[in-house]
Structure 1
Amino acid sequence: MTSRLAITDAARQVVEDLKEKHGPLMFYQAGGCCEGTQPQCFEKGGFFPRMNDAMIGLVEGYEFWVDRDLFEYWQYSHFTLDVLDGFGPGGFSLETPLGKTFTIHYRLFNENELKNLSPIIRAN
C-alpha cells in the first residue's frame, strides 16, 4: 500500500514533545483561510471532524484528518508533515507556544502509487 502521509524528523520531534506535555493528539488540515491553511494539532478529542472529512493516515500513531473539500482537491497528493520556526496566523495549534508551526509539503502521486493507495476513513 502507498501511504498518503509522511512526517519529517523535525516534525516528529515536535510531536513527541507535544505528546509528553498533552498526551494523545490528533491533527486536522482544514481548507479555509488563515489558520485553516495549516495543519492543526489538538489534544485527542479537542476537535471533531465534520461529516465526510477524510482520515488519510496516522502521524506517530495519531489520526490526521483532512477537510472533506480539501481532500477532494488534494486526493491525488502525498502529504508530508513538517515544522517551521515561527508562529502560525492564529495560534490555535498546540505547537504555537513552542515557537513552531506545522506545515504540509504536497507532491502528486506517480502512476504506480495511484494504483495502490491506502484507503481513507470518512467521518460519520
Structure 2
Amino acid sequence: MISRIDVSDAAKSLIKTLSDQHGDLMFYQAGGCCEGTQPQCFEKGGFYPRMNDAMIGLVEGYEFWVDRDLFEYWQYSHFTLDVLEGFGPGGFSLETPLGKTFKIHYRLFNEEELKELAPVIRY
C-alpha cells in the first residue's frame, strides 16, 4: 500500500517534543477559515473531527485527519508534514508557543501509486 502521508525529519523531532510535553497527539488539516489550511496539532481528544472527515494515515503513530471538503479536493495528492520557524495564521496548534508552525507539502500521485493507495478512514 502507498501511504498518503509522510513526515519530514524536522516534523518528527517537533512531534517528539510535543508528545513528551502533552502526551498523545492528533492532527487536523482544516479546509479554510480562521486557521487557513495550516495543519493543527492537538492533544488527542482536544479536537473532534466532523462526520465524513478523512483520516489519511498516522504521523509518528498519531492520527492525521483532513477536513472532508479539503480531502475531496486533495484526495489524489500525497501529503508531507513539515515544520517551519515562525508563526502560522493562528495560534491554536500546540507548536505555536515554540515559535514553529506545521506545514504540508503536496504532490500528485502517479498512476501506479493511485492503484495502490492506502484506504482512508471516515469519522
- The normalised TM-score by structure 2 is 0.98
Q: What SS does the corresponding residue of 1:37 show, helix, strand or coil?
A: coil
Are residue 115 (structure 1) and residue 115 (structure 2) matched?
yes
CA distance, structure 1, for counterparts of residue 108 and residue 34 of structure 2 = 24
Where in structure 2 are the equivalents of 1:75-90 lying within 5 Å? 75-90=75-90
CA distance, structure 1, for counterparts of residue 112 and residue 90 of structure 2 = 38
CA RMSD of aligned residues (A): 0.6
Can you give the 5+ residue segments of structure 2 that lack an aligned partner in the other structure?
none
Aligned length: 123
CA distance, structure 2, for counterparts of residue 33 and residue 81 of structure 1 = 20
Are residue 104 (structure 1) and residue 104 (structure 2) matched?
yes
Q: Runs of 4+ in structure 1 displaced over 6 angstroms?
A: none
- The normalised TM-score by structure 1 is 0.97
* Alpha-carbon displacement from aligned partner over 1:53-72 (angstroms, at most 9, x marks no partner): 00000000000000000000
* Residues 36, 89 of structure 2: 8 Å contact kept: no
Can you give the 5+ residue segments of structure 1 that lack an aligned partner in the other structure?
none
Where in structure 2 are the equivalents of 1:1-124 lying within 5 Å? 1-123=1-123
> What percent identity do the matched residue pairs reach?
81
